[in-house]
Structure 1
Amino acid sequence: MVGPPRGARAPLKNQRPNTSHSAIQRALATLQQFLHVEAISGVVLLFAAAVALIWANSPASHSYHDLWNLLLPLRLSEFAFVRSVHFWINDALMTVFFLVVGMEIRREIHEGALSRFDQALLPVLAACGGVIVPALVYLSFNNTAGRGHGWAVPTATDIAFAVGVLALLGRSIPSNVRVFLLALAIIDDIIAVLIIALFYSDGLQPSGFIVAAAGIITALGLQRLGFRTALIYVVPALIVWAGFLVAGVHPTLAGVVLGLITPARTAGAETEPPVVRVEAALHPWVAYAIMPLFAFANAGVDLRSIEFDGGTQFVALGIGLALCAGKPVGVIGATWIAVRLGGCRLAEGVTWPGICLIGLLAGIGFTMSIFIAMLAFTDEKLLDAAKFGVLLGSLISVTLGLGWGAEYAQRQRNVRS
């Protein structure tokens, strides 16, 4: 009987390849890349919003609004689909943003922070608190029919801005605090998507859902047949998008649906699953082009024309206060209750000062908040007031987050030294 070579370790009985370790390593590498892109994106977003505000409040402000109202036709033979530049940015390009959101959710559920119930429960409860309390704060100022429609505006967290501010605080912030914030923001996105689908979709047309279902079935069929090239899914994606548009559901939600059905496992000779590969390819485009373009097209509020009367002042006040105060109270309060009742515990390295930092940064709404505001308000005065409230509340949240975060980071450095 031939034994193992001298000096070699005998294999352990029933030893299996350490697939879980490789999955963890892949998940961590993906997370680090994601956080890096989001951190830089936050700076680009801030620059785009600042340029939009300066332009919209300059003597050439009319050209800012005229630019987004230009009509751009999409022509296929005799068919012409004519929409404004604003539409192509907010309803078409932002679909790619929501596609990445859907893929983030899919990846996190498969092997990330949402893959285990015990890991996901605490950020889920924190996110729910961060949605309920801001909505109540807003409605306490705006309980009338027209203004009350904007209750969901301050419920969302801007991942790019929040992660960007966290990056400015340096590496003294524990990694688990970053993971908690990312999980919270992703769950916020899930809730925001559900809110848009349930509360901001009017006059639904069943025929549109039939078209969208055909596109989804086609995409699933191509997956089943083993097609892994992303370009082949463009046609089914367009069918789903058109179906949602006809149905009366905001067409950008097509991106979420397509992201959620993207395969999360490797097949054949693949080294990475499609959900990781496609997200990695699209994420920089979304972070450095689509989101800044959205901010540039929508953050330009002419502050000189805002009239704080007829209830618009309460819209701005309600949103601003809900973001900078309601969000932290909701996130921190829900986390404290969950831990206090004994159903959850804080992860290693996450302390209550860290939870306070997460709560403050969760008040940075911006991208998703402005997006929901545009769905909630058709009245230009209310919309401008809502955007002003989002900008003000997010700015206060950034300031408070940086202030508290600097103190928290210093404490962390003192502990380590």
Structure 2
Amino acid sequence: MRAFLATETGSTSVLLAATLAGLLWANSPWGDSYEAFWHTDFAVRLGDHGFSLDLKEWVNDGLMALFFFVVGLEISREVKVGQLRDRRLIAVPSCAALGGMIVPALIFFAINMGGSGAGGWGIPMASDTAFVLGLLAIIGTRCPEPLRAFLLTLAVVDDVGAILVVAVFYTDDLSVTALLIAIALTGLIVAARWLRLWRAPAYVVLGIGVWAAMLESGIHPTLAGILLGALVTVYAPSDHKLLRAGEAVQALSRDPSPELAREATRSVQATVSINERLQLLLHPWTGYVIVPIFALANAGVRLDGETLSRAATSPVTIGIVVALVAGKFIGVSLGTWIPLRFNWGDLPGGLVWGQLLGGAAVSGIGFTVSLFITDLAFAGDPDLQSDAKIGIMTGSLLAALLGWVVFRLAWDRGAVCAPPGLPDERDVEPEPLPPVTGRDHVLGPATAAVTLVEYGDFECPYCGKTEKVLAELRSQYGDRLRLVFRHFPLREIHPHAVAAALVSEAAADHGLFWEAHDVLFRNQLALTDADLSRYGEELAFDPWADVERHRARINSDREEGERSGVGGTPTFFINGEIYQGDHDLASFQTAIDAALTGAPAPGDEMGTGDQCRISTEGTRNERRREA
């Protein structure tokens, strides 16, 4: 159950099940009870004061405010310590998100111009992050980790845009008094933060007050959720807090007492910001409870002959389907191409167009926020709501199928991390692996029975994933295993790989290669020149010293690797023989144990380990297409 809850496919499965349950309920013999149940009044009163909402409004205005609170937490974290702090990395997905909002809205409005459904132009603007990530998890290795990072950044910008659209264009009957109260309560929260008053109950009461005031003001209260989430404190772990937590835990281990246990708990918690702790606490509730309940309450639409016949010719349904499938694809693709064309930013991990087009296609899955805006745009017209919901479901399904087809074609045509220029390894006999020398970066004694050589790239996500496995191997085998790292930067697809390698070589001049190695792999999404300079300052060396000498060393490593048959990262050699197994702990253990006993390593064919491959077949196909 824990493994299920930890995956995107788990939350997506629950969301899909809730959607189907809503459809089945609305179309069952008890379909009348669906509307009756969700329109049951539920009041909260204190004396003569209070307010009453039906159950559907409590879900859409109340529970979804908590969902958008988590979105606000994510935005705040990404802006302050995550990927959104790097302007060049956020420029491309931000422009892609804007294109993915503007083009679908224009297409919908063009189809519905002058009609009763023209006000629903905001419906196809937002992508559904849960369904998109769930589909990408199902697609698996065809979707590399950098594409997930790209689409997550796009989704953050997308969510901000959708909330602004709701606040500005779908707000009626504004109450200035209630709005001023909401602003005053928000000011109290900011003041409490400035005064460093950390009492959770006070923030909970003030947050509920902001939500209630927003509800009374006429502005949709979900805006309160995203605003409050953005105000929660977030910071990167500091050495001071980590040291203090370690001392508190050691004091507790020497002299256990309730007071020391409380102090140790507080110190350990303080090493991680409240923002990240709240995300860990609330993500399961929003992913597995709140969003599925929202889908159950909003996805129930009758699918009888009359309804489907009306939807088939409705401009609202047609506009949403075309906007989600074609509009999102065109908008995201165009929004990606423009900043790349004018060099406004970089892509994470050097993504190629086959992967980006697949991501553009699946971003047309618009569900949660699209249903949310539908309820606001067509509040007084059940028929238009029904047409819109059918369009959302149909368009999302077609967008998912289009994305699957694009990923399939991109994979089959070899458009996976395919830089040009290398000879076809099938036509060139590999040379023996160069022996380990004094210039190599080595962990372990020269007398070790097994030498494991890695050709790696500091920006390669699969190299980063393998680092934990290598650390475990060193721990298990001790002096019997020697690790060697050689550079193989895929400069054609990883824009920061060469710079990171140069910095590691500068660190090596000061005997700090492995320290820099660990820092670079821990911060794979923060490898800009500014980041690399900061790492040099933290480790007390000049990261840009003797660049030409280090560049020659790195080029030499890569050229030797190419001659030895290296075609991607990470590539491993065990005692001079290329390792062709999976990159998990058990597979490495089997191969190392075989090397220790002198038996042949198992596995004659290439395993399924993740790898940033250099596909010469894909390169030739790409050249043909360009010609």
**TM-score, normalised to structure 1's length?**
0.87
Which residue of 2 is the match for residue 276 of structure 1?
276
Aligned length: 384
Residue 83 of structure 1, CA deviation: 1.6
Structure 2 residue aligned with 1:370: 371
User: 2:215 — aligned with what?
Assistant: 245
Cα displacement string for residues 223-276 of structure 1 (whole angstroms, at most 9, x for unaligned residues):
233333544311101111111112110011100110111111269641111111
2:53 to 63, 71, 83: 83
Which stretch shows the higher mean deviation, 62-71 or 267-276? 267-276
- Structure 1 residue 37: deviation in Å? 4.8
Please tell me the residue identity of whatever aligns with 1:399: L
For 2:167 and 2:49, the matched residues in 1 are separated by 29
1:297 aligned partner, one-letter code: A
Tell me the residue number matched to 1:384.
386
Distance in 1 of aligned mates of 2:614 and 2:6 = 24
SS, match of residue 272 in structure 1: coil
Rate the CA distance shift 1:228–1:172 in 2: closer, same or farther, 3 A. farther
Q: How far apart, in 2, do the equivalents of 1:387 and 1:310 lie?
A: 10
Secondary structure, in 3 states, of the residue corresponding to 2:307?
A: coil
Between stretches 218-227 and 122-131, larger displacement belongs to 218-227
Letter in 1 for 2:336: T
- Secondary structure (helix, strand or coil) at the match of 2:117 reads helix
Change (3 A) 1:285 1:112: same
Describe the shift of the 1:416–1:310 C-alpha distance in structure 2 as closer, same or farther (beyond 3 A): closer
Partner of 1:75, secondary structure, is strand
Structure-1 residue corresponding to 2:90: 120
Matched, 1:51 2:52: no
How far does the alpha carbon of each residue in 1:167-196 deviate from its partner, in whole angstroms, 9 at most, with x for none?
A: 001144221111001111111001101111
Task: Return the alpha-carbon distance in structure 1 between the equivalents of residues 219 and 116 of structure 2.
Answer: 21
Shift of 1:408: 3.7
The aligned amino acid for 2:358 is: L
CA–CA separation in structure 2 for the residues paired with 1:219 and 1:37: 34
Counterparts of 2:316 and 2:45, CA distance in 1: 40
CA deviation after TM superposition for structure 1 residue 404, in Å: 2.5
Deviations 1:200-241 (A, max 9, x none): 112212101111012212222322333335443111011111
Task: Give the Cα separation in 1 of the matches to 2:279 and 2:226.
Answer: 12
Higher mean C-alpha deviation, range 95-104 or range 169-178 = 169-178
1:42-99 deviation digits (Å, cap 9, x = unpaired): 1211111011111111111111111101111213234342221111111111110010
Q: Distance in 1 between matches of 2:200 and 2:351?
A: 39
The change in CA–CA distance for 1:112 and 1:215 in structure 2 (over 3 A counts) is same
Equivalent of 2:156, from 186, 191, 198? 186
The whole-number CA distance in structure 2 between the counterparts of 1:243 and 1:375 is 19
Residues of 1 paired with 2:173 and 2:45: CA distance?
27
More moved, 266-275 vs 43-52: 266-275
The residue type paired with residue 387 of structure 2 is: A
Aligned to 1:332: 333
- Take 1:227 and 1:306, find their aligned partners in 2: how far apart are those partners? 55
Query: Residues of 1 paired with 2:133 and 2:371: CA distance?
Result: 18
Which amino acid letter does the alignment assign opposite residue 404 of structure 2?
L
Which stretch of structure 1 is more off in the superposition, 91-100 or 223-232?
223-232
Aligned to 1:317: 318
Of 41-50 and 222-231, more deviation after overlay is shown by 222-231
Q: Equivalent residue for 2:296? A: 296
SS of 1:72's equivalent in the other structure is: strand
Paired AA for residue 107 in structure 2: V
Gap regions ≥5 residues in structure 1: 1-32
Paired amino acid for 1:380: P
Aligned match of 2:129 in 150, 155, 159? 159
CA RMSD of aligned residues (A): 2.3
- Which of 225, 234, 256 does residue 264 from structure 1 map onto? 234
Q: Distance in 2 between matches of 1:338 and 1:388?
A: 35
**Partners of 1:312 and 1:385 within 8 A in 2:** no
Corresponding position of 1:29: none
Q: Give secondary structure in 1 for the equivalent of 2:42.
A: strand
In 2, Cα distance between the equivalents of 1:101 and 1:328? 24
- Counterpart of 2:325, as a letter, is C
Contact 2:125 2:370 in 1 (8 A): yes
The alignment-based identity, stated in percent, is: 39
User: Do 1:103 and 1:262's aligned partners in 2 also have CA atoms closer than 8 Å?
Assistant: yes
Helix, strand or coil for the counterpart of 2:53?
strand
Q: How far apart are 1:311 and its partner, in Å?
A: 10
Q: Is 1:169–1:406's contact at 8 Å kept on the other side of the alignment?
A: no
Structure 1 pair 38–218 and aligned structure 2 pair: CA distance change class (3 A): farther
Query: Per the alignment, do residues 134 and 157 of structure 1 end up closer, same or farther by CA in structure 2, a change over 3 Å counting?
Result: same
Query: How does 1:170-181 map onto structure 2 within 5 Å?
Result: 170-181=140-151
Cα distance, 1:364 vs structure 2: 0.4
**Distance in structure 1 (CA, Å) of the matches to 2:164 and 2:77:** 18
Matched residue of 1:157: which SS? Answer: coil
In 2, the alpha carbon distance for the partners of 1:214 and 1:38 equals 38
Please identify, of 192-201 and 262-271, the stretch whose mean Cα deviation from structure 2 is larger.
262-271
C-alpha separation in 1, matches of 2:312 and 2:209: 41
Name the CA distance, whole Å, in 2 between partners of 1:133 and 1:381. Answer: 25
For residue 91 of structure 1, what is the amino acid of its counterpart? D
Shift of 1:344: 3.1
**Distance apart, 1:369 and its partner CA:** 0.5
Query: 1:228–1:274: 8 Å Cα contact kept in structure 2?
Result: no
Paired residues of 2:90 and 2:345 also in contact (CA < 8 A): no
Q: Which amino acid aligns with 1:398?
A: A
CA-to-aligned-CA distance 1:103-132 (integer Å, 9 cap, x gap): 111111112221111111101110111011
Indicate conservation of the 8 Å contact 1:177/1:349, yes or no. no
2:201 and 2:392 map into 1 onto residues whose CA distance is 37
Aligned counterpart, 1:23 = none
Q: Which residue of 1 aligns with 2:344?
A: 343
Contact kept? 1:102, 1:259, Cα under 8 Å: yes
SS of structure 2 residue aligned to 1:381: helix
Shift of 1:402: 2.3
Gaps of 5+ in 2: 242-266, 417-607, 616-627
* Deviation (angstroms), 1:347: 3.1
Separation in 1 of the partners of 2:311 and 2:75? 40
- Whole-angstrom CA distance in 1 between matches of 2:311 and 2:17: 32
Structure number with higher helix proportion: 1
- How much has 1:36 moved relative to structure 2? 4.9
TM-score between both structures, scaled by the size of structure 2: 0.58
Q: Which has the larger radius of gyration?
A: 2
Does the residue aligned with 1:249 lie in a helix, a strand or coil?
coil
How many Å separate the matches in 2 of 1:160 and 1:67? 26
Distance 2:194 2:340 in 1: 43
Report the CA distance between 1:337 and its aligned residue.
2.3
